[in-house]
Structures are given as C-alpha cells and as structure tokens.
C-alpha cells in the first residue's frame, strides 16, 4: 500500500531542514514495498540494545567496528562496547551530564579512543578499553557528523561552518577554518575525510573544501552546486555527503547540485553529472552508488560518470545511505526494511523486515557478518546463509 505524506513533513524528516517547508500542501507518495523473492535469508547471531537509540531525531550514529569491539551509542548519551562475536557488553558509559547529551556526531575510533560530538556543541573522547571519559570540550556549533582523525588531531565539522582541529590527547584546539553558511541550509553536515595529510569536506554554501591538516591551511574550494530557482528551498546547495576517495580522485554530491569527480591535487573537476543528494555515497572501487533526494538509487561508473543502472522502486521511502555488504548494495528504509540489490544490474535480490522502528543509518560490515542498529536502539548481528 502506498503511503502519502505532506510535503512539509517529508522535507523536515528527509532533508532535516532548519527552516523552510511550512505552508506546502502537496503530498508525496511513498512507494510500496517492492515484491522481492529473496535469494537468501539472514540468520541472527545475537542482539543487544543501546538506550532508546535516536528515535525520530536527525542523529545518525553509525556504529564503529574497531579494536576488536563494536561501539554503539544513543542520542541520550549511552555508549557501549560490545563483543562482536557474542554481543556481550564489555563496558558502558552514560555521557549525559546536566542536560540531555544529544549525541549526534560519530562514532569515530582512533588513537585508543572513541570520539563523539553533540548538538550541545561538545566533542567527547572516551577510552576504547574502559569507556572512561577522557576529555570533553566545547566547539563552535552543533556536531552533526562523525569527526575524522589525522596527524594526532581530531577534525570536527560544525553546523556553523567551522572545521576545527583538536589535539587527540587533550581536546585542545589547534586551528579553525571558517566557511560561509547561508541563512537557510539543510540540518546536516558533511563528515570530513583525510588522505595524504589533507582533509576534505563539503560545505553549506555548495562547495567541496580541502585543507592541509598540519597547518590548517585552506588550499582549494570547488563548487559542487550553484544556487538557482525561485524559492529559498530551490536554492539550497548544501554538500552534506561525506567525500569518497578512490586513488587520486575524490567524489561527492550536493543537494540541488551535482555528483562530481575531482582531482585530489589540483581540485579541478574530472566530470560532473546531474544528481541531487544529501546522503553519503558508497563505492565498490569501480562504481559509485548514490541515493537521490527522492530516494532513487543509482550506480555510476567512477571513471566516466556514466550511469550504469537506476531504480525508482524505493521512491520516498526515506532511505539510509547505501552500504556494500557481502558484495551487495544494501539500503535501509523508514519502515525497517533492508533492501539488497545486485551491484552490477540493480536487480533486487533480497529483502527483510528487521524492525518497524526503521533505520537512520546503514548496516556496517563485520569480519563474519554485518551489524544493524534500529532507530529504537536495537543492535543486531546477522549473517547471510545462501
């Protein structure tokens, strides 16, 4: 059965707008669940939970697999380390202090620590072995995206257009780069990526920025989208997708913008294609997988930008970012389904209803299976049996 939502509701949920869609009376129809004959059925290895998850909030807390542990967190500040083989709790820490923690940026592991950010404008580091809080510092703006680590620094992108470098041991600020933030933006930020001593991230004013990590020196900014249209919403150009690096080429996509391939050294475009998205890309090394702003899923050749396949069968189902699990492209949706597609053809190969609270983030691959976290905080490890 198709579901209909007010356009204003979908704008607020799917795009996370700070302001904007009120007054729209159009409706957007959610595509029905596709009919799929599943080629495999996953087996559940274990289950656990983490607080109340993120609920219906914007927080996208992707779990982290590192140090032979699985790290998961909830918006209200509960962070846990779980044994990936058994799901048993190794440690937990409640990061909530005087106010609700509102954890929204993370999780990122590095330097023997796990780093998380919050809507309260805080960055927090905990010890990966014990969960002990090591430091907590204030930064300029909400932290809505996972930080990156490089050269003994934690690199944090905030909602006020700041790229902030913190000392990984103490949280001391080392440098800050400021970029322009328009009066109306999407409520989401691009998670930075680091490679070869550089840090790369998308900005709210429609650009991809690059800086030298050691010095905090901005080296180039490449436009991804140009404001156009009659309304403020039409003119949104945020680049909220985290960049993907393949060899010497960097890829990203913007809302009302383009999917773009950029030469890492020069910052010049290699190719551009017309896709609009605020969601992270995925890649299998030769193809890019993009979920568009109307939840069409497409595969694009990374070398040429040629579209290989596209499907509209999941339109307006509020999809997660795509992930590559066991060789398949996987997306979750707002009703709690996981959809599995063939990477080469885009054909649906399997589908499961996991939890009707839905998904905010994609599954992550483990050494011998994959992990899902639902909006209500259920954590499940599954394996595929053919």
| pLDDT tens per residue, range 92-148 | 999 998 788 999 998 999 999 999 999 999 999 999 999 999 999 999 999 999 999
Note the pLDDT of residue 132: 98
Q: Whole domain around residue 372: which residue ranges? A: 289-385
- Tell whether the model's pLDDT for residue 14 goes beyond 60: no
Note the pLDDT of residue 256: 86
In a domain, 357, yes or no: yes
In a domain, 299, yes or no: yes
Note the pLDDT of residue 234: 75
Note the pLDDT of residue 2: 56
In a domain, 106, yes or no: no
Residues 274-286 have a mean pLDDT of 96
In a domain, 325, yes or no: yes
In a domain, 121, yes or no: no
Of the candidate ranges 85-99, 118-132, 227-241, 344-358, the one whose mean pLDDT is the lowest: 227-241
Percent of the chain with pLDDT over 90: 81
In a domain, 364, yes or no: yes
In a domain, 200, yes or no: no
Note the pLDDT of residue 226: 75
pTM: 0.91
In a domain, 351, yes or no: yes
SS (H, E, C) the chain: CCEEEEHHHHHHHHHCECCCCCCCCCEEEECCCCCCCCCCEEEEEEEEECCCCCCCCCCCCCCEEECCEEEEECCCCEEEEECCCCCCEEEEEECCCCCCCCEEEEEEEECCEEEEEECCCEEEEEECCCCCEEEEEECCCCCCCCCEEECCEEEEECCCCEEEEEECCCCCEEEEEECCCCCCCECCCCCCEEECCEEEEECCCCEEEEEECCCCEEEEEEECCCCCCCCCCCCCCCCCCCCEEECCEEEEECCCCCEEEEECCCCCEEEEECCCCCCCCEECCCEEEEECCCCCEEEEECCCCCEEEEECCCCCCCCCCCEEECCEEEEECCCCEEEEEECCCCCEEEEEECCCCCCCCCCEEECCEEEEECCCCEEEEEEEEC
Residue 230: which pLDDT band, with cuts at 50, 70 and 90?
confident
User: What's the structural domain count of the chain?
Assistant: 1
Which CATH number goes with the domain that contains 307? Answer: 2.40.128.630
């Amino acid at each position: 059965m198709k579901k209909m939502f007010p356009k204003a509701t979908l704008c607020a949920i799917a795009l996370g707008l700070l302001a904007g869609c009120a007054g729209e009376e159009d409706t957007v129809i959610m595509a029905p669940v596709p009919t799929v004959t599943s080629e495999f059925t996953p087996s559940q290895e274990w289950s656990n939970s983490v607080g109340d998850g993120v609920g219906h909030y914007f927080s996208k807390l992707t779990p982290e697999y590192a140090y032979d542990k699985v790290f998961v967190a909830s918006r209200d500040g509960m962070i846990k380390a779980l044994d990936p083989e058994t799901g048993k709790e190794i440690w937990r820490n409640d990061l909530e202090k005087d106010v609700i923690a509102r954890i929204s940026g993370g999780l990122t592991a590095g330097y023997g620590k796990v780093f998380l950010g919050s809507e309260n404008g805080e960055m927090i580091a905990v010890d990966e072995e014990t969960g002990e809080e090591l430091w907590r510092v204030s930064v300029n703006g909400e932290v809505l995206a996972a930080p990156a680590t490089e050269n003994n620094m934690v690199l944090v992108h905030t909602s006020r257009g700041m790229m902030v470098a913190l000392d990984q041991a103490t949280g001391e600020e080392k440098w800050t780069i400021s970029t322009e933030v328009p009066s109306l933006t999407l409520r989401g930020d691009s998670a930075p990526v680091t490679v070869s001593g550089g840090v790369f991230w998308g900005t709210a004013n429609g650009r991809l920025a690059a800086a030298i990590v050691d010095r905090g020196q901005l080296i180039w900014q490449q436009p991804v989208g140009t404001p156009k249209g009659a309304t403020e919403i039409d003119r949104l150009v945020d680049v909220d997708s985290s960049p993907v690096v393949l060899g010497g080429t960097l890829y990203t996509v913007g809302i009302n913008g383009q999917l773009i391939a950029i030469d890492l050294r020069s910052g010049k475009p290699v190719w551009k294609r017309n896709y609009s998205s605020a969601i992270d890309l995925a890649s299998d090394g030769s193809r890019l997988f993009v979920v568009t702003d109307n939840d069409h899923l497409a595969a694009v050749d990374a070398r040429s930008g040629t579209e290989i396949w596209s499907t509209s069968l999941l339109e307006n189902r509020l999809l997660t970012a795509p992930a590559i699990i066991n060789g398949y492209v996987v997306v979750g949706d707002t009703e709690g389904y996981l959809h599995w597609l063939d990477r080469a053809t885009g054909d649906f190969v399997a589908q499961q209803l996991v939890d009707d609270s839905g998904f905010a983030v994609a599954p992550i691959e483990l050494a011998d299976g994959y992990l899902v976290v639902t909006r209500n905080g259920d954590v499940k490890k599954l394996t595929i049996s053919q």
